[in-house]
């Protein structure tokens, strides 16, 4: 399955941002143990590339890097074998470098101008960021003039807001803190809760589309 197809079919991109390599590895391992298939390690996490390399030994996982802001970082991520690049901003050079290396590009956008730049630069999926501030209504409105994009709202997603995000047009959601907030021991419970909420929201959206 292609990288984009797997991202879209999973509908949940989990991410790890930590203050140490050992903690980051522990969180990543807990997420994998909980059954996640897509995971992003942010480059602000110490030893991020080493964590990515270790995760890639699991062939069932789709592994990417987050908080990628420079062309140099794109190359480092490609060198260790990650499949997708996630950024907090809309950087044309980073997007183009990502596509040149045949990786999936997911830049952060929040305004129509940024969406246009990302689209023209070849981005594959648009990360609506920060989702908690912008809200589902923002996604619904910004999709109208840019109808052919795939969307991944990230940051501040809650269980209660999941139905609203998918109804507004999200193709998948980015989840970090909501899954890891209770420590390693709480990851499994949180992953299951969000997985169930996403599955139910997707069914509702599908039924709505079929009925139209």
Q: Give me Rg for the CA atoms of the chain.
A: 16
Q: Of these residues, 2, 6, 40, 140, which one is catalytic?
A: 40
Token representation of residue 82: 């990650």
Is residue 40 annotated as a catalytic residue, yes or no?
Answer: yes
Q: Of these residues, 11, 78, 114, 127, which one is catalytic?
A: 127
Long-range contacts of 184-191 (CB under 8 A, 24+ apart): 184/26, 184/27, 184/30, 187/27, 187/30, 187/31, 187/33, 187/34, 188/30, 188/33, 188/34, 191/14, 191/31, 191/34, 191/35, 191/36
CA dihedral 132, 134, 137, 143 (to 10 degrees): -120
Residues catalogued as catalytic: 40, 127
């Amino acid at each position: 399955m292609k990288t984009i197809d797997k991202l879209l079919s999973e509908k949940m991109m989990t991410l790890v941002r930590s203050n140490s390599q050992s903690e980051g590895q522990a969180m990543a391992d807990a997420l994998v143990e909980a059954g996640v298939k897509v995971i992003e390690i942010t480059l602000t996490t110490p030893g991020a590339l080493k964590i990515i390399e270790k995760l890639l030994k699991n062939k069932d996982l789709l592994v990417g890097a987050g908080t990628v802001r420079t062309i140099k970082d794109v190359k480092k991520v490609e060198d260790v074998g990650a499949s997708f690049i996630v950024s907090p901003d809309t950087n044309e050079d980073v997007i183009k470098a990502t596509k040149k290396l045949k990786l999936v590009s997911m830049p952060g956008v929040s305004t129509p101008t940024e969406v246009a730049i990302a689209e023209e630069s070849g981005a594959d999926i648009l990360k609506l960021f920060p989702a908690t501030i912008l809200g589902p209504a923002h996604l619904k409105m910004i999709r109208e003039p840019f109808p052919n994009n795939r969307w991944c709202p990230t940051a501040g997603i809650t269980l209660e807001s999941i139905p609203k995000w998918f109804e507004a047009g999200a193709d998948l959601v980015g989840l970090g803190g909501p899954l890891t907030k209770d420590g390693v021991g709480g990851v499994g419970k949180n992953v299951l809760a969000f997985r169930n909420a996403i599955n139910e929201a997707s069914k509702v959206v599908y039924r709505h589309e079929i009925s139209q």
